[in-house]
């Protein structure tokens, strides 16, 4: 009953027995069924009829049905059949028993109802902070027919009040074929709407009196208590049983800081946004760390060996320097040496990584000029 606030009350009035019977059924999906019946037939008969019909209806009704209007009608027909069987097994004095019935199905922000008989279903809607009240179901009684005549201007209000047959029913659940059934489509509710199911004992009060009670009451419990108190205070002779169920609709909200109301669906939406942002942030951080690790590994792999490179450079420099000096000495003394006197063949000059030596291979000197050969060797040794 998350969206609904419900209160009930009942009195026997000036009767020795209570023919009224009611129940409230809540279902797992949050929907509810409000049931109220006013038994007829006197003594225990009316009570047997009202209780049988409501208990049968309640156990038959399938709240999961895709067509609630048809399900309400099906459950009503089953209850009527069960009452017919009950009358066959009960004492003959209960053969005339029957009952009225109002059943209201409520789910989320709408309701649907089915009714037989004269028990009223009132709807109170707030306009400019003032409640207005109207009966929304049909009145299956002579009074109901007279009311139609009054609306067409055929009779007066006094004619209705003074009619001796106004409480005679034109339709009731008796186990026989149902003459009149009032069945509604979805009726959408607004915040603070109030629904009142009642038996006809409430008609001791005028519609204006009921309206004033609603507007001067702060809670549903106050409404039910004040209605019963006002009926008792009138001290009407032969006051009938009176039972009422008062239900109000209020859309559920989640309050924040006692001043703001946030719809649940918006709270859920913002929560999903935040979770999505956090997930994306974690993915970004993880990807950044992975890229940094790959870059560091790549630097370690491609970093040059500076010491090795430096050594190779020194070797090459030393080698080139010595070759240049040899070429210089040969060129300097070239004017003293005949081109045919010296055959110099430098095939290889190898320098290893561990030493800085230059190997001289295949350098032949002419026997004709030993002085030049000695001079070259002396210069090399000096280097």
CATH number at residue 12: 3.60.40.10
Contact 87, 46 (CB under 8 A): no
Is residue 311 assigned to a domain?
no
The single residue listed with the structure tokens 């707030």 is: 126
Q: Does one domain contain both 170 and 132? A: yes
In this structure, are 207 and 321 located in the same domain?
no
- pLDDT tier for residue 374 given thresholds of 50, 70 and 90: low
Name which residue leads in pLDDT, 91 or 278. Answer: 278
Query: Do residues 31 and 72 touch, judged by C-beta distance below 8 A?
Result: no
Both 163 and 285 in one domain: the answer is no
The answer to whether residue 309 sits within a structural domain is no
pTM for this prediction: 0.65
| CA distance linking residue 34 with residue 39, whole number of Å | 17
Domain count along the chain: 3
Query: Could you tell me if 106 and 17 lie in one domain?
Result: yes
Flag whether 310 is in a domain.
Answer: no
Residue 211 covered by a domain:
yes
Phi, psi of 87, deg, nearest 5: -65, -30
Report pLDDT digits (tens) over 300-343: 655 555 555 555 555 555 555 555 555 555 455 554 444 444 34
* Phi, psi dihedrals of residue 99, rounded to the nearest 5°: -160, 155
* Residue 175, in any domain of the structure: yes
Kindly state whether residue 103 falls inside one of the protein's structural domains: yes
* 215 touches 126 (CB < 8 A): no
User: Are residues 339 and 277 part of one domain?
Assistant: no
Examine the domain organization and report whether 264 and 247 are in the same domain: no
| Helical spans, DSSP H, in the chain | 43-60, 68-89, 142-151, 157-162, 207-215, 220-234, 264-302, 306-332, 370-382
47 and 119 housed in the same domain: yes
Q: How far is CA 12 from the centre of its chain?
A: 45
Residues 262 and 291 in one domain: yes
User: How much is the pLDDT for 358?
Assistant: 38
Same domain, 179 and 122: yes
**Residue 378 located in a structural domain:** yes
- Whether residue 259 sits in one domain with residue 230: no
Question: Cα angle vertex 325, ends 319, 327, to 5°?
Answer: 105
Return the pLDDT at 56: 98
Based on the fold, state whether residues 291 and 349 are members of the same structural domain. Answer: no
Specify which residues 9 forms β-bridges with: 244
Give the residue numbers spanning the domain of 200: 4-252
- Model pLDDT, residue 284: 83
**Average pLDDT of every residue of the chain:** 81
pLDDT, tens only, 108-160? 999 999 999 999 999 999 999 999 999 999 999 999 898 888 889 999 988 88
For residue 104, which of 215, 208, 13, 22 has the smallest C-alpha distance? 22
Residues 54 and 188 in one domain: yes
Hey, what are 95's tokens? 């053969």
Tell me the average pLDDT across 68-80. 98
DSSP secondary structure of 87-146:
HHHS-GGGTT-EE-EEEEEEETTEEEEEEESS--EEEEEEETTEEEEEE-S---BHHHHH
């Amino acid at each position: 009953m998350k969206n609904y606030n419900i209160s009930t009350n009942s009195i026997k009035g000036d009767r020795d027995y209570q023919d009224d019977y009611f129940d409230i059924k809540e279902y797992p999906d949050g929907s509810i069924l409000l049931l109220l019946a006013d038994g007829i037939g006197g003594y225990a008969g009316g009570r047997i009829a009202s209780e049988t019909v409501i208990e049968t209806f309640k156990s038959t009704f399938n709240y999961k049905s895709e067509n609630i209007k048809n399900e309400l009608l099906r459950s009503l027909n089953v209850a009527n059949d069960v009452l017919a069987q009950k009358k066959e097994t009960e004492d003959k004095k209960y053969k005339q028993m029957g009952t009225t019935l109002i059943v209201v199905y409520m789910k989320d922000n709408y309701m649907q109802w089915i009714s037989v008989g004269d028990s009223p279903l009132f709807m109170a809607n707030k306009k400019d902070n003032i409640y207005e009240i109207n009966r929304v179901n049909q009145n299956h009684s002579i009074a109901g027919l007279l009311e139609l005549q009054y609306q067409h201007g055929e009779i007066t209000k006094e004619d209705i009040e003074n009619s001796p047959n106004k409480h005679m029913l034109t339709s009731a659940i008796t186990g026989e074929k149902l003459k009149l059934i009032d069945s509604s489509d979805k009726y959408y509710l607004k915040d603070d709407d109030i629904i009142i199911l009642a038996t006809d004992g409430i008609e001791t009060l005028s519609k204006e009196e009921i309206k004033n009670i609603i507007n001067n009451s702060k809670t549903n419990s106050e409404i039910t208590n004040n209605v019963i108190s006002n009926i008792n205070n009138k001290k009407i002779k032969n006051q009938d049983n009176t039972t009422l169920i008062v239900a109000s609709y209020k859309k559920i909200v989640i309050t924040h800081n006692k001043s703001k109301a946030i719809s649940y669906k918006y709270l859920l939406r913002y929560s999903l946004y935040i979770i999505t942002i956090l997930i994306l942030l974690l993915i970004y951080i993880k990807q950044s760390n992975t890229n940094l690790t790959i870059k560091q590994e790549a630097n370690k792999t491609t970093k040059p060996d500076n010491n090795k490179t430096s050594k190779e450079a020194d070797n090459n420099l030393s080698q080139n320097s010595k070759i240049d000096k040899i070429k210089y000495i040969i060129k300097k003394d070239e004017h003293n040496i005949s081109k045919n006197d010296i055959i110099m063949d430098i095939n290889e000059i190898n320098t290893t990584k561990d030493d800085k030596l230059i190997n001289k291979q295949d350098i032949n000197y002419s026997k004709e000029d030993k002085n030049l050969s000695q001079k070259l060797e002396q210069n090399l040794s000096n280097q």
